[in-house]
Amino acid sequence: MFRWLPRQGDPRAIAASLERRQVSPPLAAALARFLTQAPDRELVHFNPRALAEQLGLDERATLRLLLTALEEGLVTLNWELRCPACGAINHRGASLTALHASEACGACGAQFSPQLDAEVRVTFSVHERLRALGRSADDPAHRAALDARLGVVSGHALLLLPEFRRLFPQQRLLPDESLQISRVAILFTDLAGSTALYAQRGDPRAYHLVRLHFDELFRVADEQGGLMIKTIGDAVMAAFQTPGEAMRAAQAMLQAVAALNQRGQLQGEERLMLKVGVHVGPGLSVTLNGQPDYFGTTVNLAARVQRRSQGGDVAFSQEVFNDPEVRALLRGADTEQEQAALKGIAEPVRIYRWQVVGPQ
Ligand SMILES: [Zn+2]
């Protein structure tokens, strides 16, 4: 019997192209196998979590791998909206620029403002030049079953990957567009005592130390699943999906700066002393000066909470404290609380402080 085989990519060539992008050989081979050998229906608008499960990777590592494959032209990216009224998946194309603050469902006609972390999701498909798929490959019921079991990858998760911004700077919300986020954890830091450091060490040496501290903060934010949004003088702003991630990042940042003090043998007034604040709530995702940014009350409050930090500690709000993951992290930790009057807030607010590294 004659059986026509679809044109298929060569797995070795695919793996080699990924290795040239610093993907480890076993991982490159695994993705090449998946793209060339998985059943057709696994490769159309596929949920990255399904691939993560197959490869034994976490979600963020899987997204990094898929972004490399996207850059190599092995897969395509799909932005999708789940209608909050009828549940239909609305495909919106390959670029974030296709998303708008107000959307209409193609199935039921409902108008809605998509939330980046709730209604917006990302999937990938094998590139058609790599593998021609039969018409039966498009199997929404199969995908829905996988989504129900694994959950989906939100658009916000992808936006919080530094590689997404670096590799695909053209994928951004249009200047006058914004998307709501139901829950974003915002972390601010500031460096106490940097004036003394600049005075005592001189500008170039002090700047060098401040740069080293930025490197640590960028590294930690990424490791904990977040994204450094910007630096403001000696301060930074970072965003995370959950308060648990933000609090673990705060802890690791404080420890990293303490270690930097030790390595640099900085003593007394020269010591770098990090002040950190975390708050969580709804926000607005925008693109400002070509970069992702966040706006809204949650961001403003996070900045004010940060000012209650005294150094070596993280100040955080009741909303952060209420999170079960944060409660677990704080079990047995050295915390205190105060009622604080924050600028622009009528009632005093309860602020918690967690002393992570010893005061000076
Ligand atoms: Zn609908």
Per-residue DSSP letters for 183-214?
A: EEEEEEEEEETHHHHHHHH-HHHHHHHHHHHH
**CA 86 to ligand 1 center in whole angstroms:** 4
**CA 109 to ligand 1 center in whole angstroms:** 6
Could you tell me the two tokens for 293? 């940014």
Would you say residue 2 has pLDDT above 70?
no
Q: For position 132, what pLDDT does the model report?
A: 87
pTM attached to this predicted model:
0.93
Can you tell me whether residue 19 is helix, strand or coil? helix
For residue range 242-270, what is the model confidence (pLDDT) as tens digits? Answer: 999 999 999 999 999 999 999 888 877 77
| Alpha-carbon dihedral sign for residues 244, 246, 251, 256 | positive
For residue range 4-32, what is the model confidence (pLDDT) as tens digits? Answer: 333 457 899 999 999 999 999 999 999 99
Rg of the chain over CA atoms, in angstroms?
Answer: 23
**CA 355 to ligand 1 center in whole angstroms:** 48
**CA 94 to ligand 1 center in whole angstroms:** 21
For residue range 160-203, what is the model confidence (pLDDT) as tens digits? Answer: 999 999 999 998 888 888 999 999 999 999 998 777 778 887 88
Q: For position 205, what pLDDT does the model report?
A: 83
Stretch 221-247: mean pLDDT: 96
DSSP 177: -
**CA 218 to ligand 1 center in whole angstroms:** 40
Report yes or no: 184 and 117 within 8 Å, Cβ to Cβ: yes
Cα within 13 Å of Cα(93), Cβ side: 7
Amino acid at 212: L
Q: What distance in Å separates the CA atoms of residue 103 and residue 90, rounded to the nearest whole number?
A: 10
Q: For position 35, what pLDDT does the model report?
A: 95
Q: What distance in Å separates the CA atoms of residue 154 and residue 227, rounded to the nearest whole number?
A: 15
Report yes or no: 63 and 154 within 8 Å, Cβ to Cβ: no
Angle at 82 between CA 76 and CA 86, to 5 degrees: 145
Could you tell me the two tokens for 182? 């139901």
Would you say residue 360 has pLDDT above 60?
no
**CA 115 to ligand 1 center in whole angstroms:** 15
Q: Which residue stretches of the chain are H helix? A: 11-19, 25-37, 48-55, 59-71, 140-150, 155-159, 162-167, 194-201, 203-223, 243-263, 297-306, 318-321, 324-330
**CA 262 to ligand 1 center in whole angstroms:** 57
For residue range 273-306, what is the model confidence (pLDDT) as tens digits? Answer: 999 999 999 999 998 888 889 999 999 999 999 9
**CA 59 to ligand 1 center in whole angstroms:** 28
State the residue for tokens 């001189």.
202
**CA 111 to ligand 1 center in whole angstroms:** 8
Q: For position 264, what pLDDT does the model report?
A: 83
Mean pLDDT of all residues belonging to the chain: 92
Q: For position 22, what pLDDT does the model report?
A: 95
Q: For position 252, what pLDDT does the model report?
A: 98
Cα within 13 Å of Cα(96), Cβ side: 25
For residue range 102-157, what is the model confidence (pLDDT) as tens digits? Answer: 999 999 999 999 999 999 999 999 999 888 888 889 999 999 999 999 999 999 99
Q: For position 3, what pLDDT does the model report?
A: 35
Q: For position 8, what pLDDT does the model report?
A: 56
Q: For position 317, what pLDDT does the model report?
A: 97
For residue range 46-62, what is the model confidence (pLDDT) as tens digits? Answer: 999 999 999 999 999 99
For residue range 314-343, what is the model confidence (pLDDT) as tens digits? Answer: 999 999 999 999 999 999 898 999 999 888
Stretch 85-107: mean pLDDT: 93
Can you tell me whether residue 174 is helix, strand or coil? coil
Could you tell me the two tokens for 312? 């070596």
Q: For position 111, what pLDDT does the model report?
A: 97
